[in-house]
């Protein structure tokens, strides 16, 4: 089952049984971040003047998002302090995800503890309800089988399990491999347990490493994948300088408190001419699919980027743009048939020894693009509702049809003689035929 769908079903169960959904749990988990806040200037241009564009995040937490009136960067202001985020990231998380709670049927009780406190335990009735719900969902869902098949296929194809090299890591490898010498050195800040580094190690003979704050992830990377990560933060001066051929910054830059500073660290780690790869969802594009306040703004993301603002930041950190685009990523998984959503920024850039000219975004255009996306989202939502309404009507008609068909005789009523009598009749006919 798709992770998102699975989360939705777990959420459905929680809502039925306890009257709370996973968004409530996520909000609770994050609410302590609001206790310690600070005001910051724009990380891209340093200005402080801004316009408010949202007043809460996707979990419903009271947070203000602003757009910088000088460069168009979107950011939370005020935002939780570094100390606050640090304890959140170091403390949180389960399994292969550093801080997200795992939302599946095996972890329902853990989720509830997050919400109600460590003393909470599910009673027998709730456990039985969960087991029944789970059985019904899984039995009726061919995707469960499909998922097992995918894992098996992945093992066959790569010789390593899906756990060790996931599809996205392979996709990024294919995208970048021509830019990086075989046997080179690859570094990833925020490496989690190192799965993005695996293809470089296995398929490109690279020396791979990274930095990761969570001790548990560092241990798992070493034990499971044989990858040594530095435990700590990217500003540690003992990390290698002028040594790397590629720095991968994937799906993390919106979590950073000083993203420009982080790109400058990458600049320091890279050899002259070395390659930087950054990807992150484009907040403005994403708003068109999900709604900005409704699903994009998130307390975990102090900065939100568009292709323009991220490009400017990469340039300001001393990189020349090699390639950049907005990708749709469903095609990464060739079994994924959801309609395409073009919302992932991908930038490939090269470290420059000379200062690089910055293409400064026009803040008014950024703001206009955000408003445009919100309008597009409203239209999509309206279309979705209309589709649901018409589907509902169609189902009503179909149901009525079925019902009326069931009332009428299905076929001509034949001989109503009970079976033994029928057999006796047949026997009699056979004996007459003799």
- Identify which range of 38-46, 183-191, 225-233, 388-396 contacts Zn ion by CB under 5 A: 38-46
Can you tell me which of 1, 53, 67, 71 binds Zn ion, judged by CB under 5 A? 71
Decide if residue 74 touches Zn ion (CB under 5 A). no
User: Is residue 253 involved in binding Zn ion (CB under 5 A)?
Assistant: no
Please give the residues from 43 up to 62 whose contact with Zn ion meets the rule CB under 5 A: 44-45, 47
Instruction: Choose the stretch contacting Zn ion; rule: CB under 5 A; options: 14-22, 42-50, 91-99, 192-200.
Output: 42-50
Question: How many CA atoms are closer than 13 Å to the CA of 145, on its beta-carbon side?
Answer: 4
CB 326, min distance to Zn ion, A: 21
Please state, in angstroms and rounded to a whole number, the distance separating the CA atoms of residues 271 and 243: 5
Least distance CB 48 / Zn ion (angstroms): 9
Residue with tokens 């992150």: 280
Please, which residue, 49 or 136, has the CB nearer to Zn ion? 49
CA distance 194 to 228: 9
Residue 69 engages Zn ion in binding (rule: CB under 5 A): no
* Using rule CB under 5 A, residue 67 touches Zn ion: no
CA distance 169 to 188: 12
The nearer residue to Zn ion, 259 or 291, going by C-beta atoms, is 259
Query: Of 25, 42, 76, 283, which lies in the binding site for Zn ion, with binding defined by CB under 5 A?
Result: 42
What lies within 8 Å, CB to CB, of 312 at 6+ separation is 44, 71, 358, 359, 360, 361
Query: Which residues, other chains included, contact 432 with Cβ-Cβ below 8 Å and sequence gap of 6+?
Result: none
Comparison of 276 and 312: residue with beta carbon closer to Zn ion: 312
Which one, 74 or 198, has the nearer CB to Zn ion? 74
Q: Is 270 left (phi over 0), alpha (psi -120 to 50) or beta?
A: beta
**CB 371 to Zn ion: min, Å:** 18
CA distance 130 to 135: 9
Is 70 one of the binding residues for Zn ion (CB under 5 A)?
yes
The 10 Å Cβ neighbour count of residue 361 is 24
Residue closer to Zn ion, measured from CB, 43 or 250:
43
Relative to beta strand 62-68, strand 50-56 is antiparallel
Residue closer to Zn ion by CB (options 64, 94) is 64
Closest approach, Cβ 78 to Zn ion, in A, equals: 16
Binding footprint of Zn ion, residue count (CB under 5 A): 8
Nearest residue to 243 via CA among 223, 220, 266: 266
Binding region for Zn ion (CB under 5 A): 42, 44-45, 47, 68, 70-71, 73
């Amino acid at each position: 089952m798709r992770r998102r769908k699975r989360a939705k079903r777990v959420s459905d169960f929680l809502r039925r049984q306890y009257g709370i959904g996973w968004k409530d749990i996520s909000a609770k988990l994050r609410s302590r971040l609001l206790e310690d806040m600070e005001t910051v200037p724009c990380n891209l241009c340093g200005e402080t003047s801004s316009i408010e564009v949202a007043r809460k995040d996707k979990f419903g937490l009271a947070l203000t998002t602003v757009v910088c009136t000088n460069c168009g960067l979107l950011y939370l202001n005020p935002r939780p302090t570094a100390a606050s985020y640090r304890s959140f990231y170091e403390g949180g998380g389960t399994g292969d995800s550093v801080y997200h709670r795992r939302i599946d049927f095996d972890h329902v009780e853990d989720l509830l503890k997050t919400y109600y406190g460590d003393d909470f335990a599910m009673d027998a009735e709730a456990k039985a309800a969960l087991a029944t719900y789970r059985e019904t969902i899984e039995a009726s869902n061919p995707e469960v089988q499909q998922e097992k098949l995918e894992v098996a296929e992945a093992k066959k194809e790569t010789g390593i399990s899906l756990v060790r090299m996931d599809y996205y890591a392979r996709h990024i490898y294919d995208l970048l491999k021509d830019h990086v010498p075989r046997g080179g050195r690859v570094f990833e800040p925020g490496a989690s347990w190192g799965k993005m580094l695996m293809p470089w190690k296995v398929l490109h003979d690279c020396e791979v490493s990274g930095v990761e704050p969570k001790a548990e992830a560092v241990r798992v990377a070493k034990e499971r994948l044989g990858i040594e990560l530095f435990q700590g933060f990217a500003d540690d001066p003992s990390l290698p300088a002028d040594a790397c051929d590629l720095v991968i910054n994937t799906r993390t830059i919106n979590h950073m408190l000083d993203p420009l500073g982080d790109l400058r660290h990458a600049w320091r780690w890279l050899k002259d001419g070395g390659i930087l790869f950054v990807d992150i969802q484009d907040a403005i594009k994403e708003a068109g699919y999900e709604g900005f306040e409704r699903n994009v703004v998130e307390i975990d993301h102090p900065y939100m980027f568009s292709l323009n603002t991220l490009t400017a930041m990469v340039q300001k950190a001393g990189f020349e743009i090699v390639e950049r685009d907005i990708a749709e990523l469903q095609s990464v998984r060739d079994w994924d048939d959801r309609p395409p959503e073009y919302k992932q920024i991908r930038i490939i850039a090269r470290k420059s020894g000379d200062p690089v000219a910055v293409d400064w975004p026009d803040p008014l255009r950024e703001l206009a693009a955000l408003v445009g996306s919100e309008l597009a989202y409203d239209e999509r939502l309206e279309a979705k509702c209309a589709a649901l309404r018409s589907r509902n009507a169609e189902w009503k008609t179909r149901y009525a049809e079925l019902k009326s068909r069931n009332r009428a005789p299905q076929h001509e009523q034949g001989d109503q003689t009970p079976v033994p009598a029928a057999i006796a009749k047949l026997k009699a006919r056979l004996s007459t035929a003799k």
